[in-house]
Amino acid sequence: MKMKIIADENIPFVGAAFQTLGQLTTVAGRQMTAELVREADILLVRSVTPVNQKLLAGSQIKFVGTATIGTDHIDLDYLTQQGIGFSNAAGSNANSVAEYVIAALVAHAVRQRISLKNKVLGVVGVGNIGRRVVRYAEKLGWHVLQNDPPLARQTGEARFVSLDDLMDADFITLHVPLTFEGQDKTYHLFDAARLHQMKPDSVLINTSRGPVVETQAAKQILESGYLQTMFLDVWENEPEIDLDLLTQIAIGTPHIAGYSLDGKVNGTKMIYDAACHFFQMSPTWEITAVLPPLDESDLVVIPEGKSDEAVLHEIIQQAYSIEQDDANLRKILTLPTTQRNSYFDQSRKNYPIRREFNNYTVHSKISSPSLIEKIKALGFQLNRADY
């Protein structure tokens, strides 16, 4: 008899992948109930579904997969106690988030008419995503400081600095898991005290988890003018986000930094392969079967008279407009209170197809070798006939 599978309807291509393993039923992630999953063998979720004893007690669930890198919504101890197999999608959307961070920084530089050449970027959390951000930033010629206490203890590498020593950075970007206890607790890691330790007029970027930054403290320090601004993709109490905070920041998006199609499909593939391994089945579904070709993969830019940041922004914007994502979220400010939570969730569910930079080819007569290297460093292809 085929296995029964319950899956979040927002997991891309979950049907194409998992129908090979059993009978699949998809539901909204916030509507997962104990009754619904009781007779299922496999449960597939995203970050909006808490998976714990309350959901799973009395069920016959044998395997849980989350198509996310984070696991703060999963009671891992309970799964272990019950002998339930588990997989997340660590690293699946790392490149998507890294591209989001670079897009935000470049867009901000163009808005403010500043050069990023001599700026310092502090990266808090140097796992799959943070490592990508570091690599991109260094290839772009920026000075990067890295903080990751667990990795520092594990490796003893000199590249890691303390969080205190990272506070003088011009930009700080957060890529940590959400943890509530222990010496590396990240819940409200950036509270009022920590925010005031940041360099005056600096910028905070959060694409990790909303509660890593304390909302009230963030609002107060922005209102005081001590920090220049923030770029926030994640929020406390999603989908009920703080609209006052949204009005105070330069870039706000609805938890979609990792939502490139490439990243989302990678996540599905990772939990599919893990489920096959757990049940000792041979995987038959491949990503190449579902990733559609781009309608328009050629990007054109005229570099004359423009700064490197302006050229990069023009290229990036053609592939991914972070400004449009920001504008779309701000529409929530015009809605009645009763519609706001749904709008936030729908913004994620109906997020338009976004492809990563390596799917695009730039056509431009660029003469600057350093700018050419920057474009290549971000993954874009360059048509060599053009320069």
Residues marked active site are found at: 209, 238, 255
Tell the residue number behind the tokens 């930079």, with chain if given.
357
- The C-alpha atoms of residue 215 and residue 144 are separated, in whole angstroms, by 26
* CA nearest neighbour of 93 among 271, 253, 344, 315: 271
* CA nearest neighbour of 258 among 12, 64, 5: 12
Helix intervals (H) in the chain: 14-18, 34-37, 53-56, 76-82, 94-112, 128-139, 149-155, 192-197, 215-224, 243-248, 261-278, 308-319, 322-330, 337-349, 369-377
- The C-alpha atoms of residue 48 and residue 346 are separated, in whole angstroms, by 13
Name beta bridge partners: 86: 64
Query: Between the CA of residue 383 and those of 48, 140, 310, 356, 358, what are the distances in Å?
Result: 42, 20, 20, 18, 13
Q: What are phi and psi of 160, to 5 degrees?
A: -85, 140
* CA nearest neighbour of 68 among 43, 34, 42, 94: 94
